[in-house]
Amino acid sequence: MRISGALFLATLFVVTWEKVYWNVGGAVGIADVLTILFLIAFAFEWGAPRFPRTTAVVLAFFAVLLVIYLIGFFNIETKQSLDQWGKGMVKFFLHFLFLAAGVAFLARRPLAFYWRALAAFTLGLVANSVYAVLQLLAARGGVKMLCVPLLMLLPVYLRLESGHRLRVPLAVGLAFLFLVQLSTLSRSGLLGIAVGLLVLAIPYRRALTSRVLLVPLAGVAALLAFIVWERRHYFEVLVRSRIQTGGRSESAHFQVYDFVPQILHSHPLFGLGLNTFSVYYEFVTGKSNWGPHSFYVALIVETGLVGAFAFFVFLRYLFARLAVARALGRRLSAEGVALAARVRPLAWGMTAALAGTMAANLFYLTMQFYYFYAFATLILALPVVFARRL
Distances (CA, A) of 96 to 87, 147, 260: 14, 22, 26
Kindly tell me if the per-residue pLDDT of 243 is higher than 80: no
The winner for highest mean pLDDT among 160-169, 185-194, 283-292, 378-387 is 378-387
Indicate the domain borders of the chain. 2-209+244-389
Provide the mean pLDDT of the chain: 86
Kindly tell me if the per-residue pLDDT of 141 is higher than 50: no
Distances (CA, A) of 80 to 77, 86, 146, 293, 295: 9, 10, 33, 20, 21
Chain centre to alpha carbon of residue 51: 24
Residue of higher predicted confidence among 22 and 54? 54
CA distance 91 to 95: 6
DSSP character for 110?
Answer: -
CA distance 141 to 17: 10
Q: What is the SS3 assignment for 279? A: helix
Residue of higher predicted confidence among 145 and 156? 156
**Can you give the pTM of this predicted structure?**
0.90
Per-residue pLDDT, 138: 45
CA distance 293 to 364: 5
For range 126-151, the mean pLDDT: 68
Closest Cα to residue 5, out of 109, 127, 94?
Answer: 109
282-302 confidence digits (pLDDT tens): 776 666 665 557 899 889 999
For range 57-83, the mean pLDDT: 95
| Among 18-32, 46-60, 263-277, 290-304, the least confident range | 18-32
pLDDT-based confidence at residue 34 (cuts at 50, 70, 90): very high
For range 313-320, the mean pLDDT: 98
CA distance 304 to 59: 21
Write down the H helix ranges in the chain. Answer: 2-14, 30-43, 53-72, 79-108, 111-134, 147-159, 167-183, 187-204, 211-230, 232-243, 248-255, 259-266, 277-285, 295-334, 340-360, 370-386
Per-residue pLDDT, 306: 97
